[in-house]
Amino acid sequence: MKQLVKLVRLNNLIYNANRDPQVYRRVPKKPFRIQALLEGEGRAHAQVIVDGESQARCDQQITLPNTFTCEVAFDTAGSRVATLIVEKGGESFRQDLRLDVIEHAWIG
């Protein structure tokens, strides 16, 4: 049986929680791009929830195999946790992603 989610990317890089978080950081109003490469057959429900909000930022029904893409941006600096949730039938996948927004871009 294949995994539901083959790969997760953040800002076009394969997501790795052990990687230096600097490579994923953004400035205010610049969107984070969250992508999940989905495998299998049929349809799946995918969504991204930020900091436990009651309303999902992205909420889609996707025909498999396919790629789910969600872009989220924030107006203020700070750290947030986005939860990627993909469900199909009785199968479910969840992954927390740390989204850091810095006040201004690095100079130099």
**Alpha carbons 76 and 43: distance in angstroms, whole number:** 35
The domain in which residue 85 lies consists of 5-101
Say whether pLDDT at 17 is over 90: no
**Alpha carbons 10 and 17: distance in angstroms, whole number:** 11
pLDDT above 90: percentage of residues in the chain: 79
In-domain check, residue 108: no
Say whether pLDDT at 1 is over 70: no
In-domain check, residue 94: yes
Label residue 10 exposed, middle or buried (CB < 10 Å: 0-12, 13-18, 19+).
buried
In-domain check, residue 107: no
Say whether pLDDT at 108 is over 70: no
**Alpha carbons 9 and 101: distance in angstroms, whole number:** 17
Instruction: Tell me, yes or no, if the pTM score tops 0.85.
Output: yes
Number of structural domains the chain divides into: 1
In-domain check, residue 30: yes
Question: Is the alpha carbon torsion for 77, 32, 6, 57 positive or negative?
Answer: positive
In-domain check, residue 57: yes
Model confidence pLDDT, tens digit, residues 36-81: 999 999 999 999 999 988 788 899 999 999 999 999 999 999 999 9
Average pLDDT of the residues of the chain: 92
In-domain check, residue 62: yes
In-domain check, residue 93: yes
User: What CATH number is associated with residue 69?
Assistant: 2.60.40.10
Cβ-contact 63, 105 below 8 angstroms: no
Reading the block at residue 22, the tokens are: 């600097």
